[in-house]
Amino acid sequence: MNQLYHGSPALFDRFYLVAAGSATGVKFGYGVYLTESEASAVHYSQPRNMPLTPQHYLYTVEVPALTDDNHLVSALPVAQSIIERVESKLGITVPDDVRRQGKEFRKWTGCMLTGGKKAGLEEERAAAEFLDSIGVFCNVWPQAQTKPDGLKNMAVFNPDKVRIVRIEQIGITLKNGKHLLVEGSKKEIRL
């Protein structure tokens, strides 16, 4: 299992995707957005371009361990075993140019499933559901594009693959355009 974080102004006991993509889009895929960086989760507990919300929560979660054939990496080639499962299930050949990057593969898959010309919310949702059904549970990308081997972010396609292990109410402050944790403000929440 991998331990990651999620920040939110909402208190909940499990993840739902009912409103996924409605506020910030689905740039990295349809799913539950998580990060290996606690500081990033704290920052994202405040909705973008909104007045400071009164409540902020930091979720510590567990997801399945990454293996070569259970996830996509946005900027890297797709594992051959994933391509074979997609081709077998859809009955078509994945184009070479699509195989080179997980993000293009994900978008192509969604368009193939919906008949769409450009990957939007509907295509991303279709790709997420399909990929999850064949054992691909998330999309991964580096937190900083300049540090591809550094901390990672992920979009988990199926919220049932995310298990909340701790919830903490936190205080945040704004400094140099970043929302930062107020030292000593963490208070564990029991649901």
Instruction: Express each pLDDT in 139-156 by its tens digit.
Output: 999 987 667 678 899 999
pLDDT at 118: 93
- The answer to whether residues 93 and 80 belong to one domain is yes
Beta bridge partners of 72: 139
71 has a pLDDT exceeding 80: yes
- The answer to whether residues 185 and 160 belong to one domain is yes
Question: Rounded to an integer, what distance in angstroms lies between the CA atom of residue 138 and that of residue 66?
Answer: 9
Chain segment 2-37, per-residue pLDDT in tens: 999 999 999 999 998 876 665 566 788 899 999 999
Q: How many domains is the chain built from?
A: 2
Closest CA to 120 of 26, 183, 43: 26
Q: For residue 145, what are the contacts with CB-CB under 8 A and spacing of at least 6?
A: none
- The answer to whether residues 158 and 117 belong to one domain is no
pLDDT at 106: 97
- The answer to whether residues 115 and 153 belong to one domain is no
- The answer to whether residues 155 and 129 belong to one domain is no
- The answer to whether residues 88 and 127 belong to one domain is yes
Residue 167 structure tokens? 């919830």
Domain of residue 48 covers 2-67+140-189
pLDDT at 1: 77
Chain segment 159-176, per-residue pLDDT in tens: 999 999 999 999 999 899
Between residues 45 and 148, which one has the greater pLDDT? 45
Give the end of a domain, one of 121, 137, 153. 137
Residue 183 structure tokens? 């030292």
Question: Rounded to an integer, what distance in angstroms lies between the CA atom of residue 40 and that of residue 12?
Answer: 19
- The answer to whether residues 62 and 145 belong to one domain is yes
Beta-sheet pairing, 71-73 with 138-142: parallel
Question: Rounded to an integer, what distance in angstroms lies between the CA atom of residue 59 and that of residue 62?
Answer: 10
Half-sphere CA count of 88, side-chain side, radius 13 A: 9
pLDDT at 139: 96
Rounded average pLDDT over 79-106: 97
Does this model's pTM top 0.85?
Answer: yes
- The answer to whether residues 54 and 146 belong to one domain is yes
- The answer to whether residues 58 and 102 belong to one domain is no
49 has a pLDDT exceeding 90: no
